[in-house]
Amino acid sequence: MTFGGKNPDKCCIIFNDNKLEWIEKLTYLGCQFFSHSCGVDFSTNVRKFYGGLNNIISVLSKNRNKISCVHLVKTYCVPSLLYGCEVWNLSCAEYRHLNVVWNNTFRKKINCCWRESTRQLLFYCEVLPTAYLVDQQTIMLQKVAK
C-alpha cells in the first residue's frame, strides 16, 4: 500500500518468493485506512455503536430510564464508536457524520422530534458532542505520550 496517491502499476515487490499484492484499504489495530487519501473508514465503528445501542434499548424496553440509558450508551457504545479516533484525520464532513450518529442516538433515546436540536439534551445530560469527544481523546493521547 502507498499512502497519498495511487498504487504503482508497474512495481512488483517479492517477499519470500511471493508476490505482494497492492491494496486500497489496510486494517491496522482495528482501524481501516484508505491508501489514496490517508483517511479512515469508521463505518465498522458506527455499526458496532448502533448494535450496542439497539441492544441497550431492547433490554431496557419501553419503560427505560432515560438517564440510565444515556449512561449505558456513554459507557458501552461510545468507546466502540471512537475506537482509534486518536489517529484519525477527519474532514469536516466526517465530523458532521459522527455528530449525526450521536444526535440521532439522543433523538431515539429521548423520543424527541427529528428536526429538533440536541444541544440542550447534550447539555443537561452532561455529554459532549462527538467532535469534542474525538478532540478530547486526541489531546489525552498526546498528553500521555509526553
Q: What pLDDT, in 10s, does the model give residues 114-132?
A: 667 777 777 777 888 888 8
**Location of C-alpha cell 444526535:** 103
Whether 5 and 19 share a structural domain: yes
Whether 60 and 131 share a structural domain: yes
Whether 100 and 126 share a structural domain: yes
Whether 36 and 54 share a structural domain: no
Domain count, the chain: 2
Domain membership of residue 4 as a residue range:
1-41
Summary mean pLDDT of the chain? 80
pTM over 0.85: no
pLDDT band at 108 (very low <50, low <70, confident <90, very high): confident
Whether 23 and 70 share a structural domain: no
Whether 13 and 66 share a structural domain: no
Can you name the residues that pair with 26 across neighbouring β-strands?
33
**Is residue 8 pLDDT above 80, yes or no?**
no
Q: What is the mean pLDDT of residues 34-53?
A: 83
Predicted pLDDT of residue 51:
92
* Grid cell for residue 123: 447539555
Whether 83 and 125 share a structural domain: yes
Whether 17 and 77 share a structural domain: no
Whether 13 and 30 share a structural domain: yes
Residue 78: how many CB atoms within 10 A of its CB?
19
- Residue 67 in contact with residue 106, Cβ under 8 Å? no
CA neighbours within 13 Å on the CB side: how many for 120? Answer: 4
